[in-house]
Chain A
């Protein structure tokens, strides 16, 4: 029972924190661009405003256009439940693991792509095609990164991976862990549509991947999709932090341990978000046909990580 309550609390935490993470990255990028920028609560205001606006639906849209935002939200929330946030006791292990998480994320991507194709606009089709291509090419990297982690932990369940790493920190020493971390971070950039794969702040439709698919959405649908994207970024950052650097997570259900775990995970997400903002300031967007090269690099790193874990066992 406590595990279920903890899982609900973790989900609520991620859901509420998600816009703040996006806001923080935007604020930091603004500062790095020598501007003041909006504070990190701006995405909450945008969500409230967008949610209250009216909707304009294209006359070429069908019921799938209306279904897509709900499926995206549902799949992202289900994926978020699987992520270990501040407690090592994971209710999510009862119904899924890292492979299920990957599949849930791709379910969301698929419905985003279908929602982009539905109104019949050229930009929607373009975004769908590119997004599906990038998603397909990210799959092998993520699978091998999961394999590398699961080989040392003995299972692909998220709670087991973090738990094993918490109890035997020696597993993290060695090239395999660091290589898998690097590969995971690159794959994460592709999955969440950040630079250098996709620029979330672009207005040029020909350079859009994720944004192009949601050009037709407005009002509450748009608010839901933007929030789901923020949640996806937050849950992948949390995953990167807790799968590879889980120390600080609460191993018991005491209030002090949980509070400490909460503070630590916020700090970890802040560090990763800072690195993300620095990276986005430093690099330019890659041409679409150069993205597979980047993903091939991350795949090689992941493969090296997986095979190196064989030789250290």
Chain B
């Protein structure tokens, strides 16, 4: 019962998304119009850690939480790439994760989007040139949007996902 009284006292703590377009988001290519209409209000995301330091994961883990609440935009995480519409990839792609990342991409049904999160996903960040790293994410799978930052803030990640969906206006309204 203490739990429910605490819930009542806390109320809803979701913050609206900032009313500025994030400079951290880059759209890599023209997103398929059809995909955008299809995923307009419901998107299933499969997160892939392609060798990251988990800094980006900590930020992504805040997305389903009460403050950032990705579910209000119709986004939710799924366990199987077969259920997914979008792959959220972090980390410089290490040699061990190159094949699994490609397999995850192949296992996802069409149409699909890929969003690369973090500096490592775009340029390998501080791990560039390492013997254990194959290259940035777009070396393995085609990327639709990049979100810069080390790590990027959850708000930026959300804006990146929504930008990839062409829904940035909706995002601003929160």
Contact = CB atoms under 8 A, between A and B. Distances in A.
Do A and B come into direct contact in the complex, CB within 8 Å?
yes
A292 interface: no
B126 interface: no
A217 B72 CA distance: 26
A222 B83 contact: yes
Contacts of B78: 203
Contacts of B85: 49, 53
Contacts of B38: 49, 52-53
Contacts of B77: 203
Contacts of A36: 12, 14, 69, 71-72
A54 interface: yes
A54 B80 contact: no
Contacts of A219: 109
**Max chain A Cβ within 10 angstroms of own Cβ: one of B11, B12, B42, B66:** B42
Contacts of B146: none
User: SS class of chain B's interface: helix, strand, loop or mixed?
Assistant: loop
Contacts of A208: 79
Nearest to B46: A203
B74 interface: yes
A45 interface: yes
- Counting contact residues on chain A (CB < 8 A from B), the size range is 35 or more
A46 B85 CA distance: 11
A31 B72 CA distance: 11
28 contacts: A34-B12, A34-B66, A35-B12, A35-B66, A35-B69, A35-B71, A37-B69, A38-B71, A38-B73, A38-B74, A42-B41, A42-B42, A46-B74, A48-B42, A49-B38, A49-B42, A49-B85, A50-B44, A52-B38, A53-B110, A54-B109, A56-B82, A203-B79, A211-B79, A216-B82, A217-B83, A281-B3, A282-B4
Interface string B105-136: 01111110000000000000000000000000
Interface in B1-40: 3-4, 7, 10-14, 38-40
Interface of B: 3-4, 7, 10-14, 38-44, 65-66, 69, 71-74, 77-80, 82-83, 85, 106-111
A59 to B, nearest CB: 12
Contacts of B14: 34-36
Interface in A36-84: 36-38, 42, 45-46, 48-50, 52-56
Contacts of B74: 38, 42, 45-46
Nearest to A208: B79
A218 B107 CA distance: 10
A205 B79 contact: yes
A30 B71 contact: yes
A33 interface: yes
A222 to B, nearest CB: 6
Contacts of A49: 38-39, 41-43, 85
